[in-house]
Amino acid sequence: MLNAIVSISLCSLGYWYWQQAQYCKALALRATKARCYTLELLLLDDYVALTRLGFKKDMFGRWQVYRCYAFEFTSTGEQRYSGVCMLLGHQVQSIDMETYHTESPHPDQSCG
């Protein structure tokens, strides 16, 4: 009987963790897509990948799950750049992006 209770508890805990992980990944993907759209960039592969998982205290001193998601984007379609979306609990803390280059106008296309 005790084995069944422990097994059911572990399965329930595993399902809860998986459900929370999927929610946070979707949140990071939405935030990353929105940032890329705002900056007129293209999120490559429409994907974010979990790279770090741990615990950190929030601004109120409560322990929260800290997750980092890596992603790649492009500004010109030719070169890939990296970025990181950081979540604390269910809140996006920051989206850091590698310095990227934009297309510069051709020399014969001058203003004026």
Locate the domains of the chain by residue range: 28-102
Pairing of strands 49-57, 63-74: antiparallel
Per-residue model confidence as pLDDT tens digits over 6-45: 889 999 999 999 999 999 999 999 999 999 999 999 999 9
Supply the pLDDT for residue 4.
87
Sign of CA dihedral 94, 50, 23, 81: positive
pLDDT band at 107 (very low <50, low <70, confident <90, very high): low
Q: Is the pLDDT of residue 109 over 90?
A: no
